[in-house]
């Protein structure tokens, strides 16, 4: 059956345009390009071995994702993520993950519950062993399950977008050794609340989980990753 569900993650990875899009997004998020650096159609095209057409279409998409800014007849410029952006994203995520957890108490399936439990169990193991990469992977997966469990394509999509967006930061953060286990404990709390169908508690814990993640990130020196001058975080 055809899936008409509203979904921005439709940019397929197999067309040239899709490949260009994903490649550029990754490169921008990974810091390959400086902020405000100009992206030239021919240069990108040559680098990836494609013509300007798919590059241009990818540009249009990146623009709407907010990763580049296109000035007509002039060029495309990387916008990047400021510290302020990261802060804002976590602020938003905090609310939405809370909503998501709340909804999950009602809609989560048995299978999802089981996978969550397994996830947490495994995470404990890897935390003991110091397997940071696996820990990060499990953390990603935990949140994905949660997103899928809220029974809302809209919310799921939003959260996945944000999740994706701060992936690089999160990776760094979880790698700070002591956050990993702490994060996993918080996951466990959320899971317990969901199992108990305690919507309010689940919301609250998921809420707090995001705030903690952000605060830990700040402590570990967010500024080193996103050394940015012209963010608009300064109040009047």
Partner DNA sequence: AATCGTATGATTGTATACAATAATACGCGA
Partner DNA sequence: TCGCGTATTATTGTATACAATCATACGATT
Q: Are 168 and 127 in contact (CB under 8 A)?
A: no
Tell me whether residue 136 or residue 149 sits nearer to a copy of itself (CB atom): 149
Choose, by CB under 8 A, the member of 51, 178, 200, 233 that binds a copy of itself.
233
CA dihedral (196, 201, 206, 212) in degrees, to 10, reads -130
User: Which of a copy of itself, DNA, none is residue 224 near (CB under 5 to 8 Å by kind)?
Assistant: none
Q: Which residues have CB under 8 Å from 9's CB, separation 6+?
A: 157, 160, 161
Residue 40 φ/ψ, nearest 5 degrees: -100, 135
* Minimum CB distance to a copy of itself smaller for 49 or for 72: 72
Q: Which residues, numbered 135-164, are part of the site for DNA (CB under 7 A)? A: none
Residues 6+ apart with CB under 8 A from 29: 67, 81, 165, 167, 168
Q: Do 120 and 184 meet the contact criterion of CB atoms below 8 Å apart?
A: yes
Residues 24-53, mask of contacts with DNA (x by CB under 7 A): --------------xxxxx------xxxxx
Question: Least distance in Å: CB of 235 to a copy of itself?
Answer: 7
Which of 8-16, 39-47, 139-147, 216-224 is the region at the interface with a copy of itself (rule: CB under 8 A)? 8-16
In the complex, which residues of this chain contact DNA (CB under 7 A)?
15-17, 38-42, 49-54, 56-57, 70, 72-76
């Amino acid at each position: 059956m055809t899936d008409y569900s509203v979904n921005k993650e439709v940019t397929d990875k197999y067309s040239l345009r899709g490949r260009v899009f994903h490649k550029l997004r990754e490169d921008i998020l990974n810091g390959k390009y400086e902020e405000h650096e100009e992206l030239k159609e021919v240069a990108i095209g040559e680098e990836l071995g494609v013509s300007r057409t798919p590059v241009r279409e990818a540009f249009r998409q990146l623009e709407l994702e907010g990763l580049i800014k296109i000035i007509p007849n002039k060029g495309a410029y990387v916008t990047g993520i400021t510290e302020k952006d990261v802060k804002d994203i976590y602020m938003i995520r905090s609310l939405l993950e809370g909503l998501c957890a709340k909804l999950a108490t009602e809609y989560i399936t048995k299978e999802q519950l089981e996978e969550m439990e397994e996830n947490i169990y495994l995470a404990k193991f890897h935390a003991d062993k110091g397997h940071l990469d696996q820990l990060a992977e499990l953390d990603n997966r935990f949140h994905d399950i949660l997103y899928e469990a809220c029974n809302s394509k809209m919310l799921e999509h939003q959260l996945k977008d944000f999740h994706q967006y701060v992936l690089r930061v999160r990776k760094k953060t979880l790698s700070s050794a002591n956050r990993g286990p702490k994060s996993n404990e918080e996951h466990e709390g959320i899971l317990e609340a969901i199992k108990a169908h305690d919507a309010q508690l689940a919301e609250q814990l998921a809420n707090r989980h995001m705030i903690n993640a952000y605060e830990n990130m700040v402590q570990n020196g967010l500024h080193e990753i996103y050394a940015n001058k012209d963010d608009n975080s300064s109040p009047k």
